[in-house]
Amino acid sequence: MKKLPTLSAVLILCVLCSCSVTQRLDISSTAPACGVAGSDITVSNFFINVVQDLSSWQDTGYNDPVTDVAIADFASNLSDSSYASSVKFVKDGEYGYKGTFVFSDFEKLVSELCRETPAQTLLTLKTTGSKTRLDLCISLDNWETLTKIVPFLGERNFAVWGPVYNNPPYDYMTADDYKDLVGFILGEDGPEAIDNSSITIVLTTPSDIVSTNGTLKDKRTVEFTFPLIDFLLLHDDILFWCEF
């Protein structure tokens, strides 16, 4: 069985899933960034079957739903990290999950899961004087790094659905073309399910937010949401930043 590294809770269930994913980060202090993270994940039964079919899960000998095993692995791998503690993930309904964990250095945790030095570009925090800036970037340039966090993204059965083969030099598929193809292969529920799927990040900061490209909920809380189709195609980088 493949171990699916933690912190991919935000992404692993977004791969061809009709889903709602909310990742909360409550940073209580910086340098290093420590605090509490929480995940709320809901996935439709239709796309549970799709993920099950597209992956090599049926060859592992496990009969549990792919999401159950993935979430169990999230908790296990987080518990093994020196930068995470108080890890708890529970099932909430048939295909819903809730999880929380405490992090002592969020940037180093991400780097550890990437199995890279702190030079990883997926998530960075930089403190200058009294201000700290958090940047999240998902792009073709760091896609290979992301597959280390979420091995499912690197599987050959998924590759044709992901951004690498839907961008030059291989091909270029528009969002409409992509959804037409999904509808043709997976059925008429596919395109609507993708349209209704999104990923949300909710960040709470230890001081007032100075600037951000997200939506302010209050002086210290910002929300950033992007559609699943943007992640699947990555024609443009997915960028979220917040300075506080």
**CA–CA gap between residue 39 and residue 50 (Å, rounded):** 22
User: From its phi and psi, is residue 187 left (phi > 0), alpha (psi between -120 and 50) or beta?
Assistant: left
Name 204's Cβ contacts closer than 8 Å, sequence gap at least 6.
24, 25, 26, 27, 35, 220, 221
Q: Is the pTM of this model over 0.75?
A: yes
From first to last of its 244 residues, the chain has per-residue pLDDT tens of 333 333 333 334 344 345 677 889 999 999 899 999 998 887 665 555 555 555 544 455 555 666 676 677 778 878 888 999 999 999 887 778 899 999 999 988 988 888 765 578 899 999 888 999 999 999 999 998 887 776 666 666 666 778 988 888 888 889 999 888 878 876 777 788 788 888 899 999 999 999 999 999 999 999 999 998 898 899 999 999 999 9
What is the domain partition of the chain in residue ranges? 8-243
